Amino acid sequence: MSLDFWSLVGAVSGIYAIFALGLQLQFGYTGLPNFGHVASMAVGAYTMAILVVREEVPLWGASLIAIAAGVAFGALLSLPTLRLRAEYFAIATIAISEIVRYVALNEQSLTGGPIGTSNLLGPTQVAEYNGEWASFQASVQAWLNDVVGQQVGSDFTMLVIVWVVVLVCLLVLTPMTHSPWGRVLRAIREDEEATAALGKRVGWYKLQSLAIGSGFGAIAGLLYAFEFQFFSPDDFDPLITFYAWLIVLIAGAARMWAVPIGALIFGLIFSGTRFFDFKPFTYLDAAQLSYVRLMIIGAFLIALMAWRPQGLLGNRDAMVLE
């Protein structure tokens, strides 16, 4: 397989890594089972695209506003849901993420509807938000050509950009989670009452965790939009949330650095099924094979829960303590 293909796999894995870092903060550290995380990605991507296309906001400004919108979305998400117990919180968040997707599907005048972002200016012209990004990416590519000393592809360029962002996200999140602030989050994950009894504003910390985690979801949404140059509501299917869950479960709760590794493992499983060109898989067509891929991911998840409930990279000692 070509370098371009693996670059694409790596870049997409990196985007999922950033997405899953947000969930790791929310679930791995704070114990909030957010099953609607994909909505933060949608909010980020759509905010940027709408501002660039409709309001002609410069891309970088629109991206910053999009991240802020993701943070605000997470904060809003917390208001009706934080008093709910874990199971109900999970149900409420998945419903909210579907509401976001249905709004994107049906508010055609705002989002372009089911056709996606190319419809943002109506059916008569094709809308694009990607111009500034394309020129930025081209300049990074030119710089990489100099550094590497040979021509690199645009997929490889994207791979480098995405993983630089992954690294920056890790460098921001790791000290946060190792701080006294992160200690309070871990305490909340274990026992809200005990934490409140020590004078900590549990609701306020949950709000911060949801808001910041959603901000990372929005960053992932931006990179997703830049990578694929076009998106529609179908890109923010609840399935995407479960990819992030799979990554977090591989990584194990409360380990930030393990999340990108989990994302790479996920990317390998996800793309690895392309190489099923032997029997019995040759009896299936491409569409059927893509379902096999999901079945394999499901089987992997079940096996993981059975044999390593703490995650591939997690800590079993802490897992079994009551």
Site for other proteins, residues 258 to 317, rule: CB under 8 A: 317
Helix pair 38-54, 202-228: axis angle to 10 deg: 60
Among 24, 97, 130, 208, binds other proteins (CB under 8 A): 208
Find the binder of other proteins among 201, 257, 268, 290 (CB under 8 A): 201
- Among 87, 199, 280, 285, the residue binding other proteins under the rule CB under 8 A is 199
Binding track, positions 77-106, relative to other proteins; x by CB under 8 A: ------------------------------
Q: Give the C-alpha separation, 185 to 183, whole Å.
A: 5
Give the nearest distance from C-beta 312 to other proteins in angstroms.
18
**Residue 200 engages other proteins in binding (rule: CB under 8 A):** yes
- Which of 9, 173, 202, 219 contacts other proteins by CB under 8 A? 202
Which residue in 276, 268, 248 sits closest to 13, CA to CA? Answer: 268
| Shortest distance in whole angstroms from residue 75 CB to other proteins | 13
Cα–Cα distances (Å) from 89 to 36, 77, 200, 205, in that order, read 10, 10, 21, 16
Is residue 138 classed as helix, strand or coil in its secondary structure? Answer: helix
What is the distance between the alpha carbons of residues 93 and 76, in angstroms, rounded to a whole number? 11
Token pair recorded at residue 78: 């917390």
| End-to-end Cα distance, the chain | 47
Cα separation, 287 vs 97, in Å, equals: 26
By CB under 8 A, residue 140 contacts other proteins: no
| Site residues (CB under 8 A) for other proteins, limited to 158-197 | 175-176, 179-181, 183-184, 186-187, 190-191, 193-197
Give the residue with the Cβ less far from other proteins, 299 or 319: 319
Report how far residue 227's alpha carbon sits from residue 175's, in angstroms, rounded to the nearest whole number. Answer: 29
Residue for token pair 């070509």: 2
Query: Could you tell me how many residues of this chain bind other proteins (CB under 8 A)?
Result: 27
In the complex, the residues that contact other proteins under the rule CB under 8 A are 175-176, 179-181, 183-184, 186-187, 190-191, 193-202, 208, 317-319, 321-322
